[in-house]
Amino acid sequence: MRKMVDVTFGSSRYDDLVELRYKVLLAPLGLKFLDSFRDKEASYLHIGCIEQLDDKLVGGLILAPVDNDTIRMMQVAVDDKYQGEGVGREMVKYAEKRAKEAGYAHLVMYAMLSVIGFYEKLGFKQEGDIFEDNGITFAKMVKEL
Ligand SMILES: CC(C)(COP(=O)(O)OP(=O)(O)OC[C@H]1O[C@@H](n2cnc3c(N)ncnc32)[C@H](O)[C@@H]1OP(=O)(O)O)[C@@H](O)C(=O)NCCC(=O)NCCS
């Protein structure tokens, strides 16, 4: 059984989340997690997915406020061993619920081209032009809550 949780910034669970994001998202691109990221993340909402059998963190994401109406979803990551089992879908749905509860009407994110189909299945629409950043191609994806 898995459960979705809000992760407190600076907690040991937050450290697990940083490690998971590094393993799934940054390391494959040869990038490092910089300590300067941490300060920015204090004001973000952190969400995790826990496998209750062994209390292990198997996925996570960040919600970062943009303005009063819009919140941005970032760093969506599922542990390699748990990908394709519905964890990503459950996490994004939980994130939508939390964003709505917090009063946001628009959810935005910048998805790598390889995962656009995942977000489309969850009701996101592509907006604007596809663009490149640091050699990676992204599309802006939006969803009304
Ligand atoms: C992309 C990611 C978050 C998806 O999470 P997941 O738990 O593996 O996906 P789910 O099992 O919840 O999949 C939900 C649906 O999306 C589909 N899907 C999953 N990954 C997909 C992809 N890359 N492209 C298209 N569809 C995809 C699944 O087939 C499933 O479809 P179904 O409802 O028809 O069965 C996860 O695989 C991951 O962390 N990948 C590596 C990091 C990454 O690329 N993150 C995104 C940064 S923008």
The pLDDT profile of the chain, 145 residues, written as one tens digit per residue, is 999 999 999 999 999 999 999 999 999 988 887 777 788 899 999 999 999 999 999 999 999 999 999 999 999 999 999 999 999 999 999 999 999 999 999 999 999 999 999 999 999 999 999 999 888 899 999 999 9
State which of 57, 78, 91, 126 you would mutate to test the pocket of ligand 1, scoring each by most atoms of that ligand within 8 A of its C-beta.
Answer: 78
Q: Tell me how far apart the alpha carbons of residues 92 and 125 are, in angstroms, rounded to a whole number.
A: 14
State which of 83, 107, 113, 114 you would mutate to test the pocket of ligand 1, scoring each by most atoms of that ligand within 8 A of its C-beta.
Answer: 83
The structure tokens listed for 110 are 């910048």
pLDDT (0 to 100) of residue 135: 87
Interacting residues of 85 by C-beta distance below 8 A, sequence separation 6+: none
pLDDT (0 to 100) of residue 36: 73
Q: What is the dihedral of CA 82, 88, 93, 95, to 10 degrees?
A: 100
pLDDT (0 to 100) of residue 35: 74
pLDDT (0 to 100) of residue 69: 98
Domains of the chain with bracketed CATH: 2-104 (3.40.630.30)
